[in-house]
Structure 1
Amino acid sequence: MECASKEVLIRTFQTEKRYLLYGYFYPSSSIKISSILIGIFMLVYSWTEFFSMVAVLFVEKDNLTKLSETLLFCMTQAAFLCKLTNFLSKNKKMFKIEEILTSPILTNLSHSEMVVLDNYIIEVTYLGRLFRVLCILTVAFYGMFPFIDEDPEHMLPLPGWFPFDIKTYQYELVAAQTIGIGIGAFINSTLDILPTILITLASAQFDILKERLRTVMKVDERWEISSKIVKKRLNNCIMYHNFLLQYMKEVESLFSNGILVQFAASVMVICLTGFQMLLISVKSMQFILLMIYFSTMTCQIVLYCWYGNELMYKSMGLSEACYMSDWNMCNSEICTSLYIIMERGKRPLVLTAGKLFSLTLTTLMTVLKSSYSYFAVLQRLYSKND
């Protein structure tokens, strides 16, 4: 084995770590007053924007169109704040996650294993960048929306209640809300990409583990000597598997509740976005804006479900990898060890959101179906009121 750098796995989410450190949201051994102040500012700003939208829900409670539009953004903001609060309450677990990722058992990789890891990292990095581009486009379009839309009612990017005349301070409020959208998109996208990268690292490691199990018998020495080598390799594979299970247990514990809130909010947000698109002209700027917003919110849950499903699929192949090794050439002791690994590998590693449902493509379809069901109900209510 060629020993890779201890920081090789940590570097994969270095960008997300650096972004979260700007507001002191990521745990750090060194305390920076400036980062803490920036974090407090972001939190206060985001909560103020949220309560401003909540006030509109009470003021416009009899207007279904306005109510659905406000609830759309209110649910997005609420999900973001809940995810951030959950991460802040448990972010010390990142120390444990980093400790596992820097352990020699996971970083002692050969050149071919590093290639496997790099391929996974490249894929998730590109998808993460695509998601960030969608977030940036959303922020940019919402900031410009009040000035390019012909509807005089849309004076601000977001619905909000203010105790003064909006027309008098329109430019100031547009700038303030755009900053709020930017803060939410910046932190929220980071909190989505970080767990996605961590899950992808586990999928890559399972691929490496399966390859080690397939080739565990391939030695050139005499059988009396190679039997000891095979036994040592199997013990390393068992330790490797235990580390991966412990690693994913920490990841799930840190992000599970936040993902649950995000999925619950996404059902409503996708539904309400579709409902809003139904009410407006396809030629309007608002329709284009909602299309971008819809794509961003859909991409958000697709990231979790796709990579959660990938992890489940990769963890299911341990039994097959053991069977594909030359087990018929080894002694009974090694066969017993392989059998135990095969039995343990029959149960796939499935990530859950709040211990309620799994992060799989089946769950993604359930979310989309639920969104459509609520959309149909809203459409029917609107038709009756109309």
Structure 2
Amino acid sequence: MLLFLYSWTEFLSMVAVLFMERDNLAKLSETLLFCMTQAAFLCKLTNFLWHNKKMVDIETLLQHPILTDLTQFEIEIVESYMIEVKYLARLFRVLCILTVAFYGMFPFIDDDPDHMLPLPGWFPFDIKTYQYQVVIAQTCGIAMGAFINSTLDILPTVLITLGSAQFDILKYKLQNVTKVEGGCKMRLVKRALNKCILYHNVLLQYIGEVEILFSNGIFVQFAASVIVICLTGFQMLVISVRSIQFVLLMIYFSTMTCQIALYCWYGNELMYRSMGLSEACYMSDWNECDSEIRKSLAIIMERGKRPVILTAGKLFSLTLTTLMTILKSSYSYFAVLQRIYGKSE
């Protein structure tokens, strides 16, 4: 709660600077850059706290017996997915740590008198008198905010990855649904097929709960990322390439790009993995089964034709196409700012 109040105070302080520096395009863009990042973080945090009960529902679904009754081979599938997302999450954390470290040191290694603090903001006292105290307070706030913000990005990424792994397991089960041993083979096949149908229903419910919990927050993050990436590029244009601030902006740009790439990459993976159910049914020995089992497989194949696509606010799909759209939009706005700045100069 203390961090929540501090974050709102920091946000309102930057809004005040936006109003006071509205005629200075360079200063306005720099402040808006941090302001949009803070706004996205606050919206994501507020959305998560508002729908926090959904997290309990997701945990309950993950403990469903149909999802936990896995063979050793199926457990290895989940572990392989988790190892991959773990390394990418660590890379994102490292970028966040570098960003926080550079922002904390920036006021002391930059000679520009306008950059006495890590973040722009309005204060009702002389900043020069309390510079060290404010720098420490802002750096601590940035560090805690970056940790929570990155957690709000990594958590849905991990949950989406679990969904992708579960779809791979479902495809494996469907492909081998007819390969049972023992007497009354058709009865055993029907039982295994019913488990696959239940598995699919629980998995779709799980993905739906994940989308409800994080969809609005991801939408705000996407909208803010378009502006932030654009303004970061613009700031890199108006400052010297040899300056410390340029290095800082490069790290910040990489962090923001990695942030939205995590969503789009793993959302695209989920869509791709969910598209193989029809093929898995076809690869089973359906021709050796009776008509009832064939009909059930045909129904699953029809359901599998519609891929599972997570959305951000029901407007943007979490796919690589959306990632390219965000980057293209950021560049378009960057070109407009560049032209306006060129005319003002």
2:180 to 219, 224, 246: 219
Match in the other structure for 1:167: 128
Match in the other structure for 2:262: 303
| One-letter amino acid of the structure 2 residue matched with residue 119 of structure 1 | S
TM-score (norm 2): 0.99
- Residues of 2 paired with 1:100 and 1:155: CA distance? 50
- Residues of 2 paired with 1:367 and 1:309: CA distance? 15
1:350-365 to 2 correspondence within 5 Å?
350-365=309-324
Match in the other structure for 2:342: 383
2:163 to 202, 212, 223: 202
Match in the other structure for 2:100: 139
| One-letter amino acid of the structure 1 residue matched with residue 300 of structure 2 | I
Match in the other structure for 1:30: none
1:122 matches 2:83:
yes
Tell me which moved more, 128-137 or 251-260.
Answer: 128-137
Q: Which runs of 4+ in 1 moved over 3 A?
A: none
- Residues of 2 paired with 1:96 and 1:384: CA distance? 55
Match in the other structure for 1:312: 271
Deviation, 1:177, is 1.0
1:321 to 280, 287, 292: 280
1:258 matches 2:217:
yes
1:152 matches 2:113:
yes
Deviation, 1:221, is 3.2
Deviation, 1:184, is 1.4
What do the CA deviations read for 1:146-170 (whole angstroms, capped 9, x no partner)? 1011222211111111111111111
Q: How many residues align?
A: 345
Asked if 2 retains the 8 angstrom alpha-carbon contact of 1:46 and 1:183, the reply is no
Higher relative contact order by CA 8 Å / sep ≥ 6: 1 or 2? 2
| One-letter amino acid of the structure 1 residue matched with residue 218 of structure 2 | I
Deviation, 1:179, is 1.3
- Residues of 2 paired with 1:97 and 1:153: CA distance? 47
- Percent sequence identity is 77
Asked if 2 retains the 8 angstrom alpha-carbon contact of 1:216 and 1:234, the reply is yes
What do the CA deviations read for 1:233-275 (whole angstroms, capped 9, x no partner)? 1000000000000001110000000000000000000000000
What do the CA deviations read for 1:44-64 (whole angstroms, capped 9, x no partner)? 111111111110000100000
| One-letter amino acid of the structure 2 residue matched with residue 300 of structure 1 | Q
Match in the other structure for 1:6: none
Gaps of 5+ in 1: 1-39
> Which secondary structure state, in structure 2, belongs to the residue aligned with residue 92 of structure 1?
helix
CA-based RMSD: 0.7
1:270-285 to 2 correspondence within 5 Å?
270-285=229-244
Asked if 2 retains the 8 angstrom alpha-carbon contact of 1:141 and 1:289, the reply is yes
> Which secondary structure state, in structure 2, belongs to the residue aligned with residue 348 of structure 1?
coil
| One-letter amino acid of the structure 2 residue matched with residue 214 of structure 1 | Q
Match in the other structure for 1:50: 11
2:37 to 69, 76, 98: 76
- Residues of 1 paired with 2:162 and 2:65: CA distance? 15
- Residues of 2 paired with 1:220 and 1:141: CA distance? 62
Match in the other structure for 1:20: none
Deviation, 1:289, is 0.3
Deviation, 1:173, is 1.0
| One-letter amino acid of the structure 2 residue matched with residue 116 of structure 1 | I
> Which secondary structure state, in structure 1, belongs to the residue aligned with residue 124 of structure 2?
coil
Deviation, 1:349, is 0.3
